[in-house]
Each structure stands twice: as C-alpha cells, then as structure tokens.
Structure 1
Amino acid sequence: MILGFIGQGMFSMRFIVQWIASEKAKQSVIPFSFWIFSLAGSIVLLTYAIFRKDIVFTLGQLPGMFIYSRNIWLIKRSNKKIK
C-alpha cells in the first residue's frame, strides 16, 4: 500500500508543478518536470498494480508510460536541435 501511495503522490505532483509553472508564466505551460513526474508516478503505480494483480489498474497505467516517455524523448530531441 505504501508503494501505491508513493506512486500516487508522484503522479499528483505533476499537477502542482504544472499549476505553479503556469502561474509564474501567466499562461498555461507544461514544464519538463511534469513529464518526469508523470512517468515516475506511472512506473511506480504500474509496479503497485502488478503487485496487487489488478489487471484493470495495470492496463490503465501502460498507455501513459509510453505517452510520457515519448514526450520526454521529443523534448530532449528538440533541445539537442536547438543547441
């Protein structure tokens, strides 16, 4: 259960990070750390779901991991092109 709470906490942090970044910029933004917290939280929650043998929870976390990883990869690739 502790693992589930840790994963949920990490997953929830992405909203706080996004909210703070948007308030600072005075417009809606999605910072890189949003994707890091999304991926980290998803990995921990997936681990917890597998441990709990919950197929619905497991399948619910899998697509997000690919989306978050893809966004991180796109940002990193874009940053390399700029430099």
Structure 2
Amino acid sequence: MLIQLAEDLPAYFYDVFVTRFDFWLVFGIGAQLVFGSRFILQWIASERAGKSVMPLSFWFLSIIGGLMTLVYGFVRREPVIIIGQGLSTFIYLRNLALIFRERRRARRA
C-alpha cells in the first residue's frame, strides 16, 4: 500500500500542478499568498512591539485574501472554500467595522 502510494505521488502532483495549470490555479495560489502574508505581517508587528498585536493591515489582507479565495472557490465549485471564506470574510469585515467605530469614539472623547 505504502509503496503504491509512493509510486502514485508523482502522477498526483503532475495532475494537480501541471495538467490542471490555468489562470485560476495561479489566481488561487496568489490568493493563498495574500491571505497567508497577513500572518507574517502580524508576527513582524508583534515582534517589533514586544507583545502580540493585530495591525489594521492584518484585517485588510484578511479581506482581500479571503475574497480572492472565495472567488476561487466559486470558480472551482468548491463548497468547503465557499462556506469557509464566505463566513470568514463577513467576520473580517465586522472586525474592521468595530475597529473603526472604536476609533471614532476615541476621537470624540
């Protein structure tokens, strides 16, 4: 079983990354890179502050990467991605709304 899996692995990767190579694969990989970059940004910001922080740009990258991944999910007809990113993007937008509301309150005070 394990030997068969090892023999099938190159064919699997060829099918996934070569046979299915198109604009949407590149778009999906780009979406994941944008989405994943938010963690690197958050890590750098936290290291600089010496504590865990969540910069505003984290939420913007979350929204952009989430929407890109959602588009990819619709094009590829992936219900798991559509459900996950649809809900997540709503949560990112809500967090941004709460941040801006708090900033407006702080300015008035």
Q: Normalising by structure 2, what TM-score?
A: 0.73
Amino acid at match of 2:54: I
**How far has the Cα of 1:29 moved from its partner?**
0.6
Give deviations 1:29-63, integer Å, cap 9, x for gaps: 11111111011100000000100011121112111
Q: Secondary structure at the match of 2:58?
A: helix
Amino acid at match of 1:50: F
Which residue does 1:42 correspond to in 2?
66
Where in structure 2 are the equivalents of 1:1-83 lying within 5 Å? 1-83=25-107
CA RMSD of aligned residues (A): 0.8
User: Tell me, which stretches of 5 or more residues in structure 1 are unaligned?
Assistant: none
What stretches of structure 1 move > 4 A for 4+ residues in a row?
Answer: none
User: Looking at both structures, which has the greater relative contact order when contacts are Cα pairs under 8 Å and sequence separation is at least 6?
Assistant: 1
Question: Within 1, Cα distance between the matches of 2:46 and 2:100?
Answer: 21
User: Tell me, which stretches of 5 or more residues in structure 2 are unaligned?
Assistant: 1-24
Amino acid at match of 2:65: G
